[in-house]
Structure 1
Amino acid sequence: MSTAAAGQSRPELSIVRTFDAPRELVFRCWTEPEHLNRWCCPKGFTLPHSEGDGARPGGSFKTCMRAPDGTEYWLAGTYREVVPPDRLVFSHRWLNDRGEPEHETVVTVTLEHEDGRTRLMLHQAFFLTEASREGHRQGWEETLDNLAEYLAK
């Protein structure tokens, strides 16, 4: 890759996981608050606040994740595409201390049926830095671990 091309690359994140659960259930866990609010944060974090007007194109959400040390991380987004039980696309924006949105990325979750299980492919783009991408990778990996535990119950 040329130096010019390397300077223009924008970090992306891709994670693939397989869950021992039907695709329809995994999709509902991503779109229904009674499921989503029980697993959708990294290990040790809690969700003291979660609101939204539904997983539908144009629907929005706002969530607060509280870290074990008490630090609160607010994020918001808008659903761009909702295709049960195959695909979910939404924006992801961290909110600063004034509640204003910062850099926006787009998360795409694709679900495939695989021998009674569900293969999940998560893609998030584009990050401003590789460090930001790697921080999100760690958060998503832990969050998906929580989803696996939740589905096992």
Structure 2
Amino acid sequence: MLSDLTTIPSDRRLEIEREFDAPRDLVWMMFADPYHLSQWWGPKGFTNPVVELDLRPGGRWYHVMRGPDGKDYPADSEFIEVTPPERIVYRNRQLEAEAFGNNPPPSFLRVITLIDLGNGRTRLTLDAYFDTAANKDAIVRRGFREGVLESFDKLAAHLATGATR
């Protein structure tokens, strides 16, 4: 499937990009270390009280995003490809409908790419690939793009703290 990504029609793809004032190895660590990932992942006001991370092909990323209202949103994903420090490919697993008001998000593929821009700067691109245009539309309506951009704002703030653990 990964070799076929370029042939997926645009109505089933979504790209979100952001540049960071941090070297690529440090941005990579923000994804690879469960402590750091839990500090910034999720939209504004969300926390991640539970994070399990096994960053390798076939490994699992399980986390629970807690909304500002205290409601928990579990997320369970499997890593398909991991190429440090430049690329992570994963797909979320379908979860219990109850956690999402009987409207769980569809499963879709995400590709995170980190490009070293030099001078201590990194471009992060998140490409999302959907099985159907309707699934992409459903994710867009849920606020996926806005949530990712808010996550990236939180990542920039976390990086600005000098996070290096």
Query: Do both share a fold (TM > 0.5)?
Result: yes
More strand, by proportion: 1
Residue by residue, what CA displacement relative to the aligned partner does 1:124-149 show, whole Å, maximum 9, x if unpaired? 11161424225110110100110010
Pair 94,148 (structure 1): closer, same or farther in 2 beyond 3 Å: farther
Q: Is the 8 A contact 1:73 1:94 kept in 2?
A: no
One-letter amino acid of the counterpart of residue 107, structure 2: E
Residue by residue, what CA displacement relative to the aligned partner does 1:26-56 show, whole Å, maximum 9, x if unpaired? 011111112111111111011122223x101
Gaps of 5+ in 1: 1-7
Match of 1:141 among 130, 149, 154: 149
2:43 paired residue number: 42
Runs of at least 4 residues of structure 1 off by over 6 A? none
State TM-score, norm by structure 2. 0.79
1:55 paired residue number: 55
Match of 2:122 among 106, 114, 118: 118
Trace 1:3-152 onto structure 2 (pairs within 5 A): 10-52=11-53, 54-93=54-93, 95-97=95-97, 103-116=106-119, 117-126=121-130, 128-134=135-141, 135-152=143-160
Deviation, structure 1 residue 23: 0.2
User: Aligned-residue CA RMSD in angstroms?
Assistant: 2.0
State TM-score, norm by structure 1. 0.85
Please give the alpha-carbon distance, in whole angstroms, between the structure 2 residues aligned to 1:58 and 1:121. 22
One-letter amino acid of the counterpart of residue 63, structure 1: H
